[in-house]
Amino acid sequence: MRRLLSWIWPLLPLLCGFYIPVFIAVLDDVALGSIEVAFSSVVTSIPVIISTVILAISAAFLATLIGAVDALLISGVRGVTSGRLRFLWVPLLILTFTTPPAAVASAIQSTFGSSFLVAGVRDEFGALILLSLRWAPVALAILLGLSLTIPREQEWALRLLPPVKALKVRWQLQRNWRRACMLLLFLLMLPAAEIPSYAGIETISRRVMARLTVGDGLSGWILSAGLAGIVGPLLAWLMPGNQWWGRGLKTLSPAGLPTWKFASGWWILRVVPAISLILILIYTAWPRASEVELAKSEFLSALWDGIIEIQRALLVSVLSVLCCWRLAVAKRKWALWAWCLPTFLPASLLGLSLASTWGVHAPVFLDRIPWLLSLAHIVQLGALSALAGILAVSMIPEEEANAARFVKPEIACWRIFLPRSLPVLIPASIMGAILILGEVESTLLLAPPGHPSPALELHQLLHFRNDEQASRLALALIILSSGLTLLFSGVSLGRKGQR
């Protein structure tokens, strides 16, 4: 019994939060709709599927390129990112990812006017830039993690080479990782809906939404099945084969790395969007003399809402990450694959499935607790959690993994592997919590009345062009997310003196 429990618990949230409700919702919609009509409307959507794929591939390429240059310079060159204040760079470099897209839209709208938002960021190019900047930090995190954990001997050998030659070799070393990273980003961008909606671009997720607004759930499911048809096999290909353990190497200090004069120029270029975003929001949010009290209360109330919400977000994120990490320790590749799929389903479909399946049977006293929303968020983070689990396990040296076989599996898991995995699991959980803080689609469908959601409120304000209030909300969200990343990077980078 105990063995069965330990086998099944990492799958329980996934089954309850995704596969069971989705299965029931699909059956309901098949019973209600006409498959023939749904298929015919899907056929007409083929051009949209193609254009979404092209957009996602282009954005994944650009984001990977930016992240790869970041990773190359951090791992191969001494400079501001390896100086005393290096912990300050982490929040700045990942700010475009940790800031909810609505906050970015708010900043663009308040500075250049709403006509710029639609006229300047409205087409495929605008969507491409916004998507690339948003996802580049993820490419940075993946490629940097891999770049910093190459064998020590290899690293020392690289440091002995002339600086430019060393950078070229490091760039070549990244090649396979870049390919895998680009593929992963492509998959993560395929279901994008929010950013393309600011740019007025049609994507598969927007088409699914359009179907749902007239109660045509079946077409939505068929379109999503088409999406899964692309994502599923590629994900399976990305899953680790036999090599689960083994990178397991301590990173070296920056001492011995060369300096390179062009690096500073790149870093200035990289932090310009983040700093501009913050300055714009501060400028817009700054109240006139007559509005100081009102502005203060709006800002503090948004901050407080965010603080309350981030507790739940952290809990949810930790649970999701732990489930996937446990599966990775047990090398259950297909279970991890199954955890990844919910991330690629449009969040609205998931939210509606949960509401119609579990919501109707839940006791009344649960109505005021965001348990359904939390379940949705746990499974929505699936791909991030699976990636964190796989990376965490791959950082454990093979010798340690082999030695751990001599103790009971549960003790090995929780007393040996878990502490060794925390350097990956903690940042992944923080990242997950920040993502939840900016999520709106399932929040709108599943949050209990009165549940604080600054991101949703920001969405509602954007339409009305209440730029000042929107900026205060956006700023509160950025302070919360940056505070978390700063805390983590300060603790992990500032104290140890190691990268």
Binding residues for other proteins (CB under 8 A): 41, 44-45, 47-48, 113-119, 122, 193-194, 197-200, 202, 206, 209-210, 212-216, 308, 311-312, 314-315, 318, 348, 351-352, 355-356, 359-362, 364, 367-370, 418-419, 422, 440-441, 444-445, 447-450, 456-457, 459-466
**CA distances, 18 to each of 288, 351, 354, 355, 477 (Å):** 48, 10, 8, 12, 28
Task: Report DSSP letters for 189-254, one per residue.
Answer: HTT--HHHHHHT---HHHHHHHHHHTT-HHHHHHHHHHHHHHHHHHHHHHS--S--S----PPPPS
Residues 6+ apart with CB under 8 A from 252: 152, 155, 156, 498, 499
> Which residue, 264 or 460, is less far from other proteins as judged by CB?
460
> Which residue, 49 or 335, is less far from other proteins as judged by CB?
49
> Which residue, 271 or 315, is less far from other proteins as judged by CB?
315
Q: How far is the CB of 212 from other proteins (least distance, A)?
A: 5
> Which residue, 4 or 43, is less far from other proteins as judged by CB?
43
Rounded to the nearest angstrom, the gap between the alpha carbon of residue 378 and the centroid of all alpha carbons in its chain is: 13
> Which residue, 114 or 264, is less far from other proteins as judged by CB?
114
> Which residue, 6 or 466, is less far from other proteins as judged by CB?
466
- Under a CB-based contact definition with an 8 Å cutoff, are residues 203 and 161 in contact? no
Q: How far is the CB of 409 from other proteins (least distance, A)?
A: 19
Q: How far is the CB of 441 from other proteins (least distance, A)?
A: 5
As a residue count, the chain comes to 499
- Under a CB-based contact definition with an 8 Å cutoff, are residues 264 and 167 in contact? no
> Which residue, 1 or 214, is less far from other proteins as judged by CB?
214
Q: How far is the CB of 303 from other proteins (least distance, A)?
A: 15
Distance CA 251, CA 427 (A): 17
Angle at 476 between CA 471 and CA 482, to 5 degrees: 120
Three-state DSSP at 358 gives helix
- Under a CB-based contact definition with an 8 Å cutoff, are residues 375 and 351 in contact? no
Q: How far is the CB of 250 from other proteins (least distance, A)?
A: 20
Q: How far is the CB of 277 from other proteins (least distance, A)?
A: 20
Q: How far is the CB of 281 from other proteins (least distance, A)?
A: 19
Structure tokens at 381: 């983070």
Q: What is the DSSP letter of 466?
A: -
Instruction: Burial-class residue 160 by CB neighbours within 10 Å (0-12, 13-18, 19+).
Output: exposed
Distance CA 313, CA 306 (A): 10
Give, to the nearest 10 degrees, the angle between helix 217-238 and helix 46-76: 40
Q: How far is the CB of 352 from other proteins (least distance, A)?
A: 5
> Which residue, 238 or 426, is less far from other proteins as judged by CB?
426
Distance CA 287, CA 295 (A): 6
> Which residue, 65 or 118, is less far from other proteins as judged by CB?
118
Q: How far is the CB of 318 from other proteins (least distance, A)?
A: 7
> Which residue, 184 or 349, is less far from other proteins as judged by CB?
349
Phi–psi pair at 162, nearest 5 degrees:
-60, 145
Q: How far is the CB of 417 from other proteins (least distance, A)?
A: 12
